[in-house]
Chains A and B, each alone.
Chain A
Amino acid sequence: MGRFLLRRILQTIPLVIGISILVFLVLQKVPGGPMTVYAQPGTRHSPAELQQIRHQLGLDRPLHVQYGIWLSKAARGDFGWSYQTSKPAGAAIARRIPATIELLLAAVILAVILAIPIGLYSAYKKNTWFDHTATSFSYLGYAIPVFWLGLIAQLVFSLYLGWLPTANRATPGLPFSFADHLLHLILPVSVLTLALVASWSRFLRSSVLEQLGQDYVRTARAKGLTERRVLTKHIMRNSMIPMVTQIAIEVPLLFGGTIMTETVFSWPGMGLLLWQSLLRRDYAVVQGILIIVALLVMIFNIIADVLYSRLNPRIGLN
């Protein structure tokens, strides 16, 4: 176990360096580049002025030198200056993490609670009205873009019914109140949860269906176990193996989903920050977030591997 972890962690180091080179080069090559903000026609900079800015920002150095400086600083947690937020990029990102974690955690927990019974039951009652309804809903959940669903939810629950606040994390100007905070959480969490339930319940359904035809299920039934016991003890446990790894791998990628949700609901998390940084060419922040997400993907992959072997003793870590 220890050796496995050590090996996996060592393996991620060249991967992270490779990814950082990729991120660095790709962002340099995107039309416009870091100078876009200063080179807009309306700003009327003279060539000499632009040259001066380029020099101040260190952009007149060779690319590999720029990368080296960036990497050595990034390794020490200094991701550069975020001009969009007027603070170090690391600090800008750090300030947004709690909001995203709160949103993600609420949505993931809620989604797991909903997706497991739905997936299990639709597989068990395959081709019944329940299964068909669940299937149609999950297709809807797949097909409807998060931002559209978010806007509709705002129209219905905030504008027409007036039950919930439209956006933001709290009512600005009021002292912090848990109830107010919770009210603001409902819409974004629901929208994100819906998309997750759609995908995870389908995943679990097919995984349960696969188990249902297995010999050990027949054996369990032949032993005279109750259906309930067969389902919860035997099938459940085996179908959860791929499900758990699936969730572990998907969680870091959920940041993609939170970009839309956070943007529509003005939720001040990392997703919104990434969106803002992309629009405003705040490269320091974009690079920082991409590296963090890459690290998260790798960490969660290791977690998935460990979980997988724990849940399924047939799989060894080597």
Chain B
Amino acid sequence: MKQEHRSICSWLMFVSWIMVALVLASCRQPTPPPGDEAEVPKPVDGGTLVYGYLEEPDNLNAYGSSMTYALVTSMLITNGLTTVNPDLEVQADLAKEVPTAENGGISEDGLTVTYELQEGVTWHDGTDFTCDDVKFTADTINTEAFIMPLSKAGYDKIAKTDCEDDHTVVFQLKEPYAPFVSLLFQWGIMPKHVLEGEADINKADYNRAPIGTGPFKFVEWQDGDHITLEKNEDYWDKKQQPHLDKVIIKFAEDENTILTQVKTGEIDVWDFVPASFVAQLEKEDVEVSESLQLTLESVHVNSGKPPLDDKRVRQALTYAWDRETTVEKIYPGQTLAVTQQAPQCWCANDDLEAYAYDPDLARELLEEAGWTDTDDDGFVDKDGKRLTLTISTVAGKKDREQVEAIMQDDYKKAGIELLIKNYDASSLFGDYSENGPLATGQYDLALYADAPGADPDSFDGLLTSDQIPSDSNPSGSNWNFFSNKELDSLVAEGRTTVQESERKKIYDRIQEIVYEESPFLFERFHTFSTVNNSRVHGITSSPTYLQNMWDHGANWWVDAQQ
């Protein structure tokens, strides 16, 4: 029996170790989106490029994954209907042109979206690509049994997909949905002839050995080690023929291991490089490129909770924090955010200027709201209570903790006491049923990033009052508990207005409201860093989640071997 005790004990040790690892694991955040780069000299054909990933992809059918590395890998093998280029413009891919209201691709009532498809496109197995594949993809997504780790939001607006002919696909929508073209069908279309007979597409072999239409063909996937792709000699896009013979995607779960492999030349390209590593790599014989993402870092203000439900107090928080100096100090070279929309978006409101740092004005606003320093302790108070707020972020994120410390100092000068209470990621982002502080509104200020897509609706749509979390709507996305009637109706209008010039006016106004009401203290847009061996050329980055793979790697090339 003694042996049993020993085995149980040692096994329990092992299990407790696992539990520690699980808790640590929850500190890792999901990886979101992306930028642009300089032009290159004459590309050379041939050669192999080794791309380093910090995570192994889970599923190469992009509609069956939410993991960034899986999504971008599928981009090398497949094509969507459209893609988003480094200038944040939606660009045709398998579609001949991007449907707009102007070219008739989007009907006047916004209920019909028509894509003319490229002709002469073949799948890697030689079968012709036709409208049936697009219809199959749309229908599959909207099948209940198909689990999509990313929301089906948007796709669920499709009432019916029709093929007018082999190269014309027509989507009938349940209601007008303006972001349709800029958000949907950018991931690889699924091949109908391969997947048609599958009982469960979530478990199809295709997910680990995809057949696409893209510039690279899938060759092999060695578990835990690497994925090999080879050039598609018959790539349909004559203007953009791939240069590389092979792309090898190598996984390493440890940042330091990848860093060493980049330095030794075992890995040619690594993206999503953490800022602390960029500085180290700048000294090496490698090139570092940075581009602006749509990912927005900001302090989220719980606008539903006193005293933060008072607009003047929220504005005072913005004026009292020297955001420009903060960004300069902690994130040198990064872009201060003025509104929630990135500067490169057509939707950005250029008339707005960043709130200035003005502690005196902050005090005035607080005074208007009834907060003055009556007891001369340096902090403002009201009804005998000091203005004390708490800020939270993910514990252990050094840069964010430094930002909190700066805010603490700045706010003290304006008479606001700021306390810091950080959580591990899974607690902070815990959902409503787990009593997560953000989801349930049990916080004052929270510093974290949002990663929207290439349409203004994907950020603003989260802010409507019907998205405020409650028992009846536990997964509501409005963690700012912000409520504004005008914004609610503008968001609905923006979603159903198809003329871009009309939409621009709507989103300009939404930005004014958010600016004025201050449910966020905007900090900066994230920078996406890619490091590559100097023999690698032609990699450019989209500010969206398509990242470096927005062009399917067709423009990548390496110097000829000496």
Contacts and interface: CB of A to CB of B under 8 A. Distances in A.
Contact of B3 (A173, A263, A301): A301
Interface in B28-73: 28, 30, 32, 48, 50, 55-56, 58-60, 64, 66-67
Interface centre among B48, B251, B475 (most CB of A within 10 A): B475
B261 A167 contact: yes
B207 interface: yes
Nearest to B252: A266
Interface stretch (B141-149, B234-242, B401-409, B551-559): B141-149
B6 A249 contact: yes
Given A31-B426, A40-B30, A85 B251 contact: no
Interface in A70-111: 81, 83-87, 92, 95-96, 99
A32 B426 contact: yes
Interface string A2-18: 00000000010001000
A151 interface: yes
Interface stretch (A121-129, A210-218, A286-294): A286-294
B473 interface: yes
Nearest to A162: B264
B48 A43 contact: no
Interface string A116-155: 0000000000000000000000000000000100010011
B151 A273 contact: no
Contacts of B479: 41
B216 to A, nearest CB: 14
A180 interface: no
B534 interface: no
Contact of B11 (A85, A166, A297): A297
Contacts of B226: 168, 172-173
B8 A15 contact: yes
B196 interface: no
A268 interface: yes
Nearest to B27: A279
Interface stretch (B91-99, B371-379, B428-436, B494-502): B428-436
A279 B256 contact: no
Interface string B1-35: 00110111011011101110111011010101000
B287 interface: no
A151 B58 contact: no
Contacts of A30: 19, 22
B145 to A, nearest CB: 7
Nearest to B263: A159
A304 interface: yes
> Which interface class (under 10, 10 to 19, 20 to 34, 35 or more) fits A?
35 or more
Contacts of B257: 151, 154, 166-167, 264-266
B22 A301 contact: no
Contacts of B334: none
A40 B3 contact: no
B222 interface: yes
Contacts of B431: 39
Contacts of A11: 4
B224 A272 contact: yes
Contact of B475 (A47, A85, A167, A275): A47
Contact of A266 (B66, B251, B263): B251
Contacts of A278: 18, 21-22, 25
Nearest to B433: A39
A169 interface: yes
Contacts of A87: 208
Contacts of B28: 279
A158 B260 contact: yes
A157 B229 CA distance: 30
Contacts of A85: 56, 58, 208, 223
Contacts of B10: 249, 253, 297
A228 interface: no
Interface residues of B, number: 76
Contacts of A280: 55, 58, 67
A226 interface: no
Contact of A169 (B30, B225, B266, B429): B225
A64 to B, nearest CB: 21
Nearest to A83: B58
A272 B4 contact: no
Contacts of B261: 166-167
B3 A266 contact: no
A293 B475 contact: no
B174 interface: no
A52 interface: yes
Contacts of A269: 224
Interface in A266-318: 266-269, 272-276, 278-281, 286, 290, 293-294, 297-298, 301-302, 304-305
A173 B19 contact: no
Contacts of A272: 224, 253
B14 A44 contact: no
A60 interface: no
A31 B151 contact: no
Contacts of B151: 43-46, 49
A92 B427 contact: no
B254 interface: yes
Contacts of B153: 44-46
Contacts of B335: none
A260 to B, nearest CB: 10
A253 B14 contact: yes
B292 to A, nearest CB: 19
Contacts of A38: 66, 147, 149
Nearest to B477: A44
A89 B324 CA distance: 50
A7 to B, nearest CB: 11
A159 B281 CA distance: 14
Nearest to A36: B426
B260 to A, nearest CB: 5
B203 interface: yes
A248 to B, nearest CB: 11
Interface in B461-496: 462, 473-475, 477, 479
Contacts of A112: none
B228 A96 contact: no
A1 interface: no
Nearest to B58: A84
Nearest to B472: A47
A222 interface: no
Interface string A49-63: 110110011000000
B352 interface: no
A135 B14 CA distance: 27
Contacts of A34: none
Interface string A239-270: 00000000001000101100100011111110
Contacts of B6: 249, 301
B150 interface: yes
Contact of B248 (A22, A158, A173): A173
A86 B58 contact: yes
30 contacts: A26-B15, A30-B22, A31-B23, A32-B426, A32-B430, A39-B431, A42-B66, A43-B149, A46-B475, A56-B144, A86-B59, A96-B224, A154-B260, A159-B263, A167-B257, A170-B225, A172-B222, A173-B50, A173-B248, A249-B10, A253-B10, A259-B21, A263-B253, A264-B257, A265-B257, A266-B254, A297-B7, A297-B14, A298-B7, A301-B4
Given A15-B8, A253-B10, 9 more contacts: A83-B59, A165-B266, A172-B222, A172-B250, A173-B50, A253-B14, A266-B224, A275-B21, A297-B14
Nearest first, the 9 closest Cβ-Cβ pairs linking A and B are A268-B224, A172-B226, A44-B151, A86-B207, A266-B252, A268-B225, A279-B25, A86-B59, A301-B7
